[in-house]
A = this chain, B = another copy of it.
Amino acid sequence: MAAGTDTAHHTDLGSLAGDLYGPYREELVAARLLIPLGVRGLYARGGDFERVIERFDALVTEAGAPFAAEVMRFPPVFARAHYERLSHIRNFPDLMGSVHTFTGGEREHRDLLEIFDKHEDWTARLAPAAVMLVPAGCYPLYPTAEGTTLSAEGRRVDTEGFIFRHEPSDDPARMQIFRQREFVRLGTAEQALEHRNFWLEKGQELFKRVRVPVEAVVANDPFFGRGGKVQKAMQIEQVLKYELVTPICSREKPTAISSCNYHLDTFGSVFGIRTPDGEPAHTACVGFGLERIALALFRNHGLRLADWPSEVRDVLGLG
């Protein structure tokens, strides 16, 4: 934890063993930073929480400004047909969010309500809609570039959107739905790697400026099942993804608040995105998990914005 960190306003992370999910969540709720919505890992965001997210988001915008990336803001759902071309259903089926709706007529509606009123499972009467919740920040982007050939400069895209992960948890940093700000690079392997490496450095610099101590580690995603172990080993061995981690509710299990990911030509191949030489494009992205970053800031500087160190307030433009 950074020197000068205020611990008077919240549970002291250093003094406790084990996880602090419960106590820290209660403090966040008491401070009206998070408002529970009756499902584990689901919260409304209070005014100060949202303000911190907006201000950190603006800091990221500033850091990315020199690249003049194209801006795209994604809605929380994307095409089921695009989801079906990705490997998410193989690797993370337990995290998916499939959207279903009612497509029947009046008779089917009467049947639906009869089941509903008997408190039986009415959801079996629904049909899959053409959309799924977005499981990763950059997934909706690649299909929009389908069948294109990039220029020699490639592309840089600035994205943001809500990400859904079905993983009910008491850890306030493990929300079921949260915003991810990303910069995505499409181009050659060299361009993609350069992007990932640049942001790995730049991200550490940003967190240093707001006094959130981070450590860069090789990432270790929760691939599903026994087959997932092989995927996990491959991911680590190829050193494709780094995460910046910081203690939020636990020193032993620090939380990833940002990640830098090199996807090889996975998305370029699936969506036929090519470099000028006709090869599948390589892609990389940096993602900032905005809710987790806000939680890390409140963890390090206290639950009241007015008490934050003036240097941090200045960097974030908190006035």
Task: State A84–B39 Cα separation when bound (angstroms).
Answer: 14
Chain B residues near A144 (CB, 8 Å)?
Answer: 35-37, 44
Q: How far is the CB of A65 from chain B (nearest CB, A)?
A: 12
CB distance from A109 to the nearest CB of B (A): 6
A46 to B82 CA separation, bound complex (whole angstroms): 20
With A76-B177, A96-B102 as known contacts, state yes or no: A71 contacts B46, CB within 8 Å: yes
Q: Does A89 touch B at the CB level, under 8 Å? A: yes
Decide: A37 and B140 in contact? CB cutoff 8 A. Answer: yes
Q: Which residues of B contact A100 (CB under 8 A)?
A: 97-100, 123
**B residues in contact with A239, CB < 8 Å:** none
A70 beta carbon closer than 8 Å to chain B? yes
> A-side binding surface: helix, strand, loop or mixed?
mixed
| Given contact pairs A42-B78, A73-B50, A140-B44, A99 touches B97 in the complex (Cβ within 8 A) | yes
Q: Which of B44, B89, B113 contacts A75 (CB 8 A)?
A: B44
Q: Is the C-beta of A45 less than 8 angstroms from some C-beta in chain B?
A: yes
A79 to B177, CA, bound (A): 12
Kindly specify which of A126-134, A254-262, A295-303 makes contact with the partner chain: A126-134
CB-nearest residue of chain B to A35: B144
Collect the chain B residues with CB atoms within 8 Å of residue A47's CB. Answer: 70-72, 158
The verdict on A56 contacting chain B, using a C-beta distance below 8 Å, is no
- CB-CB under 8 A from A224, the residues of chain B are 109
